[in-house]
Amino acid sequence: MLTIISELLDARQLKDIRALIDAAQWVDGNVTSGHQSALAKNNLQLPEDSPEAQQAGQMILEALSRNPLFIAAALPLRIFPPLFNSYAGGQAFGIHVDNAVRIQAGTGFRVRSDLSMTVFLEDPDSYIGGELAVETQFGAQQVKLPAGHAVLYPSSSLHRVNPVTSGRRVASFFWLQSMVRDDAARQTLFDLDSSIQALAVTMSHDNAEIIRLTGVYHNLLRRWADA
């Protein structure tokens, strides 16, 4: 399931985040790469322990906690602290699969990477290339979103970042462990929840069938979730 989260960040949040990370010191992006990724990856990144990255990442986490679409689609249990990367001058990230488990450097914090997320932080008209291409059952889906928008997709997907041939692509990226590890089960729950919310607009939340469907949703979540 590939889900677009529109306007995750508003203009003020975006401005504050860019002020923080643009003033920080960037390093070779392979500081967080596994073996396979290191062979394909060519970009810059903020160090995980950078105060600017940590402060900007907390702003993104707060925005996620207030976003009902993200919560419904991801059913998050643990979120890896957001990281930040930059591509320019032909830099790219070739086809790869994210590591199954991500461990925060210097801590015991770890997540099973069920879902990956990219939050775009640059005006798409200011750079050429840089599309996130995610392989799905319907073929490769290319994603290049306005600044402040985000995309959520399975970490098990083959994906890449196309070369940035002009300008600079800046984004935040991270992984999360869902309460429901199976992607098909999460899709079913998301579709059911979306239908319930849509029906409730016309039928009211106290409608008997809405209550029945809500019960089905929670019973399926109870069956599939690890919390």
13 φ/ψ angles, rounded to the nearest 5 degrees: -60, -40
Angle, CA of 137, 135 and 44, to the nearest 5°:
160
Q: 11-22 and 51-65 helices cross at what angle (nearest 10)?
A: 160
Is 159 annotated to bind a ligand? Reply is: yes
**Three-state SS annotation for the chain:** CCEEECCCCCHHHHHHHHHHHHCCCCEEHHHHCCHHHHHHEECEECCCCCHHHHHHHHHHHHHHHCCHHHHHHHCEEEECCCEEEEEECCCEEEEECCCCEEECCCCCCEEECCEEEEEECCCHHHCEECCEEEEECCEEEEECCCCCCEEEEECCCCEEECCEEECEEEEEEEEEEECCCCHHHHHHHHHHHHHHHHHHHHHCCCCHHHHHHHHHHHHHHHHHCCC
Is 98 annotated to bind a ligand? Reply is: yes
Is 96 annotated to bind a ligand? Reply is: yes
- Binding-site residues for 2-oxoglutarate, in ranges, read 169
- Binding-site residues, in ranges, read 96, 98, 159, 169
- Binding-site residues for Fe cation, in ranges, read 96, 98, 159
